[in-house]
Structure 1
Amino acid sequence: MFLLLSAAIAPGLALFSYFYLRNQMATEPRKTLLQTFIFGALITFPLMFIQYVLREEGAFSNPYLGDVLVASGLEEFFKWLVIFLLIFRHVEFDDPYDGILYGASVSLGFATVENVLYLLSFGIDTAFIRALLPVSSHALFGVVMGYYFGKSKFQKNDKEIEYLLLSILIPFVLHLIYNSILTFKGYWVILIAPFMLYLWWTALRKVKLAHQHLVQHLYEQKHN
């Protein structure tokens, strides 16, 4: 059991540590990040319940609608809601890169609990592929989401609402593409590899841009 739990939790911690350590300009309070991670973990259970009810009630005659479209939308919306309601106006969300950390934190909280439940059901044999795909993809969706939250809060160009919309729309579209690829049985592996490379490239580019915004933000603070 210890080995299984370690295998389930380790990918999320490793990915979060990676994005946390990339922030060399400032240190975000660990307590707030931990709280965000916990909230991300807690939303797993209402999400699972809603999806179970929809499935049992036969709310969608087309499996694609329920398993891909609705699942992608619900997961990204709940993660977005946690950041918007609990973090976006928080005093400790005080620089553009913080969005990256909070987005990754809430997403990895959700992904970690989901991963634990999955490995408990299907065994440790799936741990490696789970780390490569579901856990890392959730982290990267969260990075993109957090990037646009940071833009919304700190970009001084009257586009707060536009960036807020992008903070949920773009992760949803990426998640939708990811889930859609997994429905192509037989050759999904051929499609998922380039998509994951693109997802990593996109997320790392957002991280780089967030660093640039952070440097500019600190410069403006220093000279104002």
Structure 2
Amino acid sequence: MSLRALPHVLARPSGTVRTGVLVALLATTGIAILELVREQTGTPGFFVGLGLALLPVAPLMAAFRWLGRAAPAPWAQLLFCFGWGACTAALIAILANSFATEWIAAATADPADADTLGSVAIAPVVEESAKAAALLLVFVFRRPRFTGPADGFVVAGFTATGFAFTENILYLGNAFGEDLAEGTGVLDSVTAATFFVRIVLSPFAHPLFTVLTGLGFGAAALSVRRSHRFALPLLGLAAAMCAHALWNSSSRFGEYGFYVVYGCVMVPVFALLVWLAVWIRRRRLRAVARELAAYAAAGWFSPAEVPALTSMPARSLARTLARRSGGRAAGRAVARYEDDATELALLRNRARRGGPAREPDFAGRERELLDRLWLRRATAGPALARAAVLEELLPPSFGPRATPAAGVPGPRSEAPDLRRSGPWTPATPAGPPSSRPCALPGADGGR
């Protein structure tokens, strides 16, 4: 490499370099935040807080993973988001909040005012901005994986779950240290009260705030206008800050202020977001079904595969059937086939709605996905078809093949060579199949 090219390489680092930098950042901030929390809570409090704070993590991660299961993000990306929230964002929040509170206390000479301003005005801005940084990184560097509101939900949920995990360690550990110093009983302890409020009543608080930012990024991913791609995430971030500030100020609205805000604001907003998450998931699956039907009409999928690919129980069953007949390798092939088919459908959906400005490399990405699907079709196709039968997703018979949609290439007569670098010209698909019902192979056909 010449010295003249060095500035360009440094300006646009490779994926390996970016990954190494992020791993080093998470490791450094993780060590720092663990030591900082341990110093504040004491060693016994740290371990008690750690054990109690772990309880809501798995259910929250499973819920957000379920939402994105139609087009799952890589686990490495989700774990990065969790780690960013638990380590980097938490460290930024603790240091910035402490500095701001001390500065306000010195300026006003009133610790009570400093605490109030710190929790209501400073903490929401600092914490939501620190968490939003993870969403921004995924949005910028993993743009093909950030396709809409569902991805914003999932990325925001994992980030906020990590942040709440670390924050819960701090609050529960401090509460346990206070009870230990005063010799308080278990039922009357500050630890029990803190556990009830943070783990039982409001484990969804931080995810709820940050999901608003995630929806802003998700809406930006669907927008063609450049101004919207900047404005919508900022609007979502502002909504997250306002909701966070309202929650932090609830205890200052009188004796029952917390319960009023919890019952009249938090619970309804949480219920609305749950409904929205389910609706987004169903809408995404309907979009997948619509787009895959065009590829099935062109011969890339059998008619039985499309309903199986748009049913999460059938997709899970297909992986199980493939593992039983062909081992773990067959199960992984079916899983990748399902993910690639979903990504292909969502890619076409975005391109159809937004045109070349939305997906300038649509043809190349479509070719890559179709090639990968074709290589795994012999394994995945029979398993999915069998799963569609067992889940009773098919009508009694199939009619003639629909007319292929314009712009959908036909499949090649043989597996493509992924090593070639020349242009890809698909062969014309064979004539339409007969109108009699399809003969669906058994589960062992995927070997």
| TM interval, short-chain normalised | 0.7 to 0.9
TM-superposed CA distance for 1:134, in Å, is: 5.0
Aligned residue in 1 for 2:129: 77
CA distance in 2, matches of 1:139, 1:130: 13
Normalised by the size of structure 2, how large is the TM-score?
A: 0.46
**Structure 2 residue 229 is matched with structure 1 residue 165:** no
Q: Could you tell me which of 141, 147, 155 is aligned with 1:90?
A: 141
TM-superposed CA distance for 1:170, in Å, is: 1.0
Deviates more, 1:49-58 or 1:67-76: 49-58
CA distance in 1, matches of 2:237, 2:106: 24
Q: Could you tell me which of 52, 55, 59 is aligned with 2:98?
A: 52
The amino acid that maps onto 1:200 is: F
Which sections of structure 2, spanning at least 5 residues, go unmatched? Answer: 1-43, 177-190, 292-345, 353-447
Q: Could you tell me which of 207, 214, 221 is aligned with 2:284?
A: 214
Aligned residue in 1 for 2:64: 19
Residue by residue over 1:65-121, the C-alpha shift from the partner in whole angstroms, topping out at 9 and shown as x without a partner, is 22211111111111112221x211233633221111110111111110010111111
CA distance in 2, matches of 1:182, 1:12: 25
Conserved? CA contact 1:82–1:106, under 8 Å: yes
TM-superposed CA distance for 1:212, in Å, is: 5.5
CA distance in 1, matches of 2:286, 2:225: 14
Q: Could you tell me which of 228, 240, 252 is aligned with 1:183?
A: 252
CA distance in 2, matches of 1:36, 1:142: 12
Aligned residue in 2 for 1:138: 206
TM-superposed CA distance for 1:215, in Å, is: 4.3
Conserved? CA contact 2:49–2:171, under 8 Å: no
Residue by residue over 1:111-161, the C-alpha shift from the partner in whole angstroms, topping out at 9 and shown as x without a partner, is 100101111110341223212455311011122221221111123455212
Conserved? CA contact 2:217–2:233, under 8 Å: yes
Which sections of structure 1, spanning at least 5 residues, go unmatched? Answer: none
Structure 1 runs of 4+ with >4 Å offset: 1-4, 215-218
Conserved? CA contact 2:156–2:214, under 8 Å: yes
Larger RCO, structure (CA 8 Å, separation 6 or more): 1
Aligned residue in 2 for 1:197: 267
Conserved? CA contact 2:119–2:249, under 8 Å: no
TM-superposed CA distance for 1:185, in Å, is: 4.2
The alignment of Structure 1 onto Structure 2 pairs a total of residues equal to 223
State, as a whole percentage, how many aligned pairs show the same letter.
Answer: 24
Task: Identify if the C-alpha distance between structure 1 residues 89 and 212 changes in structure 2 by more than 3 Å, giving closer, same or farther.
Answer: farther
Aligned residue in 1 for 2:76: 31
Q: Could you tell me which of 159, 162, 168 is aligned with 1:115?
A: 168
Deviates more, 1:56-65 or 1:122-131: 56-65
Normalised by the size of structure 1, how large is the TM-score?
A: 0.87
Conserved? CA contact 2:146–2:152, under 8 Å: no
Question: Which has the larger Rg?
Answer: 2
CA distance in 2, matches of 1:93, 1:10: 29
Conserved? CA contact 2:131–2:159, under 8 Å: yes
Conserved? CA contact 2:147–2:222, under 8 Å: yes
Aligned residue in 2 for 1:150: 218
Task: Identify if the C-alpha distance between structure 1 residues 59 and 28 changes in structure 2 by more than 3 Å, giving closer, same or farther.
Answer: farther
Aligned residue in 2 for 1:100: 153
CA distance in 2, matches of 1:205, 1:60: 45
Larger helix share, 1 or 2 = 1
Aligned residue in 2 for 1:174: 243
Task: Identify if the C-alpha distance between structure 1 residues 77 and 174 changes in structure 2 by more than 3 Å, giving closer, same or farther.
Answer: same
Conserved? CA contact 2:135–2:156, under 8 Å: yes
Q: Secondary structure at the match of 1:89?
A: helix
